[in-house]
Amino acid sequence: MSVAFVLAFLATLFFGVRLIVFTFYWADPEHRFQTLEGWMTPRYIAHSYGLPPEMVAGILDIGQPAAHRRTLDEILRESGQSMADFQRRLTEITASGAADAQ
């Protein structure tokens, strides 16, 4: 029983610390609407721009976002899109308020 309690306590501690770190990270205004960089993943971009992950996946034409942990550089290289074009489309969507509609 003691081992199970310690393992449960450690798991709770891990996920609690992770929740606090993510909460403080995304509450910082510097992490909102960041200029796109190649290392970013679609999920990171969705968080940064306040969009549903499915919408970002749709712009990138990659299908389900959870299944793709590839970087933006990899995705754009495979699809033939440019970073500037993707940034323009993303800016248009956020400026038009389309993200609020979903």
Domains of the chain, by residue range, sit at 1-31, 32-102
Residue 3 above 90 pLDDT? yes
Rounded distance between C-alpha atoms, residue 5 and residue 96, angstroms: 51
What is the pTM assigned to this prediction? 0.69
Residue 67 above 60 pLDDT? no
For the chain, give percent helix, strand, coil, nearest 5.
70, 0, 30
Q: Kindly state the DSSP code that residue 31 receives in the 8-state scheme.
A: G
Rounded distance between C-alpha atoms, residue 36 and residue 27, angstroms: 19
Higher pLDDT, 34 or 42: 42
Tell me what percent of the residues of the chain surpass a pLDDT of 70.
89
Rounded distance between C-alpha atoms, residue 89 and residue 71, angstroms: 18
Q: How confident is the model at residue 78 (pLDDT cuts 50, 70, 90)?
A: confident
Given the structure tokens 């960041």, which residue do they identify? 34
Mean pLDDT, residues 65-74 taken together: 75
Instruction: Please provide the DSSP assignment of 7-29 as one string.
Output: HHHHHHHHHHHHHHHHHHHHHSG
pLDDT digits (tens, 9 = 90+) for 14-36: 999 999 998 888 787 777 778 88
Rounded distance between C-alpha atoms, residue 10 and residue 90, angstroms: 40
